[in-house]
Structure 1
């Protein structure tokens, strides 16, 4: 989410040159991830064919969580490197902000579901979005909602991020900028969760979290550690090596063949690597998915340079602004995705309706991002009120008298 601003003049532990400004590509990819998640979460949406979901073993969830960790690291290093313990109260405050956004999103979505039932006479939103249990058993479900024990569909990413934010605050207080510690912790917890089956449940208890936090912490910490290790010379040499680039390209190609996007056209038999999709478990952050995402991220960092024209294009600028306002716009995009259940029920599931709704929602996100940026710029450029002129100080009568003349032989000074 809105992990923080760029690091200015921060010395990296490897002794590399300081970072001067935030890399626009972080916000660009995060903004694009928000749009893709909106399209993927809109029910049976044809526009999801144009997202990473259909061309590989990973999707926008890895992109969003990884970049959230990366951006969080940039902010933590800039603000808390010299006082790491202060990361803990910040993390608690940030987690509470995320919690409020989560509750607000549920209230809005539940209200829309009830209004749609009253207006259209259809309970499709209440049913598909699992709102009905809250309405019929409020006394039971309300406490679970407040304690993140009731997670309706579409409302599962922010609770994950709440836990990850609290976790990283504690870890940074102990690990600071030593990236190998984060890698070791992430791997250890993931292995423990994999073999113990540890996860969290949601109401009713037979439902599990869509994103197992014990597994997905590895994706978040991978982004966090990547920022900390980004200037290690050996790592840069490895990433620039032709063999590594070829390996990443191979992984992406294999992922494309395994995903078999042509299967959506009915060619189900043409899936020679289907076993890879079978083991690419999203709920438990399968290493197959993370490997595929890291390969895509590697190639993207090579082909989309910091000086690329994409950052100055209309599309690039729009995605960057969405990425800068990632938290509120992610919540709004979640509400839009929930609305798709009612919109497609009312207007039909034809692809023109799906395309129109998807593009309209994306344009609204862009407009809100530009509006937020305009307000921020206006507030920053607003002249500060001039300071009131200082009032003259009136001295006491004795202090206001002229100073005595300097002593002379003929006119001695008074005591």
Structure 2
């Protein structure tokens, strides 16, 4: 029996969350340095979804684990709702400030490239044109999050989802299937009626539409809430595993078997002509169309059922990825700035081929250095303990994770 003076034992972290979050951050950075050969190795070449979907679903898992316990009925009865809500809204505020910081640096980096390297075309890219052609309206849109620059447009959706997450978790800990059904209905409605947040002063809406992307975030939340209780939100099933694995192979054939993908796409277009909502029969990213959604969910389920994935995520080989994942927001910010610098450098250089080969590697090394320094300078507690088996991952008290 534990004495009152003893601190409770630290629960093991699930290494998959940190490792795959780190991998997603590396992938996002690589994909944001266009033309490099390493892009061919990223997830978007093997299916319909990409690192963005992985980022959102893992962010939801981490949020469910980190904050779900505060919304348990006994905790709410004792402490009330505000101690549960305030950490999430504080995190959303941090994301908002980070978004403004990255936006200002994006403007500065591209303006510096245009001025010092005589590449004025840079001011016409990543949605910068409005800033100079319609300055007053754009300076309203930037702090309102309605005007977003290319490569700096994923955090606003995450910020909005964290603001809404307390309500989602409060429902999810009591009625998880109700939350899932409501989330699916909202996703479907977003596609049918083109629901999105305004993109002022531009027409249209957000590239990462939170009204649609909330669905994979909610799936992640429900997964994290269940894991915290030592359960799985979607139980292991040989039949479901085979179905998901088969779908992943089907998508590979869709992408790469000559004529097969063209035939399927034409059939989807035909269904669209018959009135089937476009988010069912397209590959649209903004509204998280069904093929993208089903692909990331199938991939997540298959990976979650494979013990070898857990062992690999906790291995020494995956330690750099886990390091990146533990410092998620800082690494994401560093990667964003590095990708912007890389784009400007390639536009200004006559040796773009050399840069395409070297800049991604240099950028990943810098991201690792930044994460290592942050962990070293900020270490006030013992290094995390990682689980090595599914049983020790969930244990009796759930998993430890950071939402960020």
Distance change >3 Å, CA 211–CA 310, structure 1 → 2: closer
Partner of 2:330: 328
* Closer/same/farther in 2, CA of residues 355 and 178 from structure 1, 3 Å limit: farther
Q: Is this contact kept in 2: 1:90–1:169, CA < 8 A?
A: no
Residue 193 of structure 1 and its aligned partner are, at CA, apart by 1.3
Equivalent residue for 1:281?
Answer: 284
Structure-2 separation of matches of 1:159 and 1:233: 29
Give the match for residue 138 of structure 1. Answer: 135
CA contact (8 A) 1:177 1:228 kept: no
Relative distance call for 1:214 and 1:35 in structure 2 (3 A) is same
Q: 2:311 aligns with which of 308, 311, 330?
A: 308
Counterparts in 2 of 1:106 and 1:335: CA distance versus 1, 3 Å: same
Give the alignment of 1:22-33 within 5 angstroms.
Answer: 22-33=13-24
Match of 2:249 in 1: 253
- Match for residue 204 of structure 1? 201
Number of aligned residues: 355
Task: Write the distance in 2 (CA, Å) between the matches of 1:165 and 1:78.
Answer: 16
Contact map agreement 2:15 2:310 (CA 8 A) in 1: no
Which position in structure 1 is the counterpart of 2:154?
157
Aligned residue among 344, 347, 350 for 2:349: 347
Deviation at 1:324, TM superposition (A): 0.9
1:376 to 358, 375, 378: 378
Aligned to 1:407: none
TM-score when scaled to structure 1? 0.78
Task: Assess if the C-alpha contact under 8 Å between 1:66 and 1:222 holds in 2.
Answer: yes
Is residue 169 of structure 2 the alignment partner of residue 172 of structure 1? yes
**1:145 positional shift:** 0.7
Counterparts of 2:147 and 2:233 in 1: how far apart (Å)?
45
Q: Deviations over 1:352-408 (max 9, x none)?
A: 42121111111111111111121233x447xxxxxxxxxxxxxxxxxxxxxxxxxxx
| Residues 348 and 255 (structure 1), Cα distance of their counterparts in 2 relative to 1, 3 Å cut | farther
In 1, the alpha carbon distance for the partners of 2:290 and 2:176 equals: 19
The correspondence of residues 183-222 of structure 1 with structure 2, limited to 5 A, is 183-222=180-219
Cα gap change, 1:374/1:180 in structure 2, threshold over 3 Å: closer, same or farther?
Answer: same
Of 335-344 and 134-143, more deviation after overlay is shown by: 134-143
1:245 touches 1:299 (CA, 8 Å); kept in 2?
A: yes
Contact 1:23 1:306 in 2 (8 A): no
Partner of 2:95: 98
**Is this contact kept in 2: 1:43–1:341, CA < 8 A?**
yes
- TM-score of the aligned structures, taking structure 2 as reference length: 0.80
* Structure 1 partner of 2:276: none
CA–CA distance in structure 2, aligned partners of residues 95 and 63 of structure 1: 19
Question: Is the 1:257–1:273 Cα contact (8 Å) retained in structure 2?
Answer: no
Tell me by how many angstroms 1:310 deviates: 4.4
- Give the SS at the match of 2:202: coil
Correspondence for 1:127 among 124, 127, 145:
124
8 Å CA contact 1:114–1:126 kept in 2: the answer is yes
Tell me, in whole angstroms, the C-alpha distance in 2 between the residues paired with 1:304 and 1:365.
29
Look up the SS of the partner of 1:146 in the other structure: coil
Shift of 1:351: 4.2
Distance 2:16 2:249 in 1: 23
Larger radius of gyration: 1
Where does residue 108 of structure 2 map in the other structure? Answer: 111
Question: Which one scores higher on RCO, CA 8 angstroms, separation ≥ 6?
Answer: 2
Q: Structure 2 CA distance, aligned partners of 1:364 and 1:233?
A: 36
Aligned 8 A contact 1:160 1:211 in 2: yes
Gaps of 5+ in 2: 1-6, 270-280, 383-404
C-alpha distance 9-57 of structure 1, shift in aligned 2 (>3 A): farther
